[in-house]
Amino acid sequence: MDNNTYVVIMAGGIGSRFWPFSRTNYPKQFHDVLGTGQSMLQTTAQRFADVCPPENLFVVTNKDYEALVKEQLPQLSDNQILLEPVGRNTAPCIAYASYKIAQLNPEANLVVTPSDHVVLKQDVFTDVVKDALEAAAKDDVLITLGITPSRPDTGFGYIQYIDEENSKIKKVKTFTEKPNLELAQMFLDSGDFVWNSGIFIWNVQSILRAFHQYLPEVSEVFEEGVNTYNTAQEQNFITRAYSQCRNVSIDYGIMEKVDNVYVLLADMGWSDLGTWNSLYTINRKDENGNVIDGDVMLYDTKDCIVKTPKDRLVVLQGLEDFIVAEYDNVLMICRKDEEQKVKEFVADAKSKKGADYI
């Protein structure tokens, strides 16, 4: 196992598209979404057991979730848990981790991954990541794992690549972050676009150069902390640093602009589990196409996903293509093909009913 390999798990999001199951005080990455006995965060950490030494795994999360991370990953030291004072999207998150790890090991090769993705083919995943790490260690490249799209999803970045024969890693031709539905359908129909999985691999010096060139305002903020990372002064510095950072994604801020982006195609049974439909897609269905998690009785109901508390009997009749989700003090019933309205529901619940419901 290579001591220069580091893994950064991004675990600070709220997951509002998965409401009401994912809540501000307990987001979905801390839930056992798939009924495996492990939370999404725990599963993600375990996924890298054969990729990096345990002391080289870092989690970036919101300061409000520190106790949850420590409870679920007790093997981590305090220095392996990076606490964001406020969410500023993925670019500041990755910059923070990159500058901190660069102080520990200037030759580090990084894998950056969300905490709430599903990978069904573990062996394939491990091999793909190791191939990408080998390439990143040799060349100044920023690599993302690409997934063949199955639907015109507007929540993903799309990658068009140059298909070079005898090369596992393809140079990216265009990179489009979260297109509208019409454009996403065009990408799907063309057959030469893949989803950006949001799993990145690069050498730490490569990503720091990219920040310096394309997000200099972010780079300048975090460079000021070079003498505080991995010291008792780190958290105070980070609190000040985040107050100076704008909200910007790594995709928009860097990946769409650089000319050394590559994609490694990966058939690894991937899902980002960002929405109810994604959970429905990967789960086993009953004979009527329903996905059930809870104490549920169904009549004349098909192609639904139902996730409700196990201590409450739920009886449904006459539904087709619906999401029925209950958690804590919220019950949501929504058509599957209109799940994009979930964010609207969350905003309305916050403004009309108060923060207790989000």
Residue 277 falls inside a structural domain: no
Which tokens go with 288?
């009527």
Q: Do 257 and 304 reside in the same domain of the chain?
A: no
Task: Please compute the mean of the pLDDT values over residues 282-311 and round it to a whole number.
Answer: 96
Calculate the average pLDDT of the chain: 94
- Distance in Å from the first CA to the final CA of the chain: 42
Task: Please compute the mean of the pLDDT values over residues 56-79 and round it to a whole number.
Answer: 98
pLDDT score for 347: 95
pLDDT over threshold 70, residue 112: yes
pLDDT over threshold 80, residue 279: yes
Q: Do 172 and 307 reside in the same domain of the chain?
A: no
Residue 175 falls inside a structural domain: yes
pLDDT tens digit string along 137-161?
Answer: 999 999 999 998 988 888 788 999 9
Residue 160 CA to residue 143 CA, distance in Å, equals 13
Q: Do 318 and 238 reside in the same domain of the chain?
A: no
Report yes or no: 128 and 264 within 8 Å, Cβ to Cβ. Answer: yes
Residue 68 falls inside a structural domain: yes
pLDDT tens digit string along 318-334?
Answer: 999 999 999 999 999 99
Which one of 271, 297, 314 terminates a domain? Answer: 271
* Residue 333 phi, psi (nearest 5): -125, 120
Residue 329 falls inside a structural domain: yes
Question: Which pairing describes strands 305-307 and 291-293: parallel, antiparallel, or unpaired?
Answer: parallel
Q: Do 226 and 305 reside in the same domain of the chain?
A: no
Q: What CATH number is attached to the domain comprising 238?
A: 3.90.550.10
pLDDT over threshold 70, residue 32: yes
Residue 191 CA to residue 133 CA, distance in Å, equals 27
Q: Do 261 and 298 reside in the same domain of the chain?
A: no
Q: Do 131 and 186 reside in the same domain of the chain?
A: yes
> Among 167-181, 207-221, 242-256, 313-327, whose mean pLDDT is lowest?
167-181
pLDDT score for 70: 98
* Segment (H or E) for 58: strand 57-62
pLDDT score for 105: 98
Residue 109 falls inside a structural domain: yes
The parent domain of residue 296 ranges over 282-353
Q: Do 78 and 35 reside in the same domain of the chain?
A: yes
Q: Do 302 and 260 reside in the same domain of the chain?
A: no
Residue 58 falls inside a structural domain: yes
pLDDT score for 192: 86
pLDDT top residue among 167 and 310: 310
Banded model confidence at residue 166, pLDDT cuts 50, 70, 90 = low
Radius of gyration of the chain (CA): 21
Q: Which of 84, 15, 17, 71 is nearest to 45 (CA)?
A: 71
pLDDT over threshold 90, residue 341: yes
Residue 317 falls inside a structural domain: yes
pLDDT top residue among 154 and 222: 222
**Alpha carbon separation from 113 to 59, 124, 316 (Å, rounded):** 10, 16, 38
pLDDT score for 336: 95
Residue 358 falls inside a structural domain: no
Amino acid at 171: K
Q: Do 194 and 341 reside in the same domain of the chain?
A: no
Which one of 246, 271, 296 terminates a domain? Answer: 271
Q: Do 211 and 339 reside in the same domain of the chain?
A: no
Q: Do 16 and 154 reside in the same domain of the chain?
A: yes
Q: Do 57 and 81 reside in the same domain of the chain?
A: yes
pLDDT over threshold 90, residue 92: yes
305-307 sheet: strands from edge to edge? 291-293, 305-307, 322-327, 330-335
Which one of 230, 249, 271 terminates a domain? Answer: 271
Task: Please compute the mean of the pLDDT values over residues 179-185 and round it to a whole number.
Answer: 91
DSSP three-state, residue 318: coil
Domain count, the chain: 2
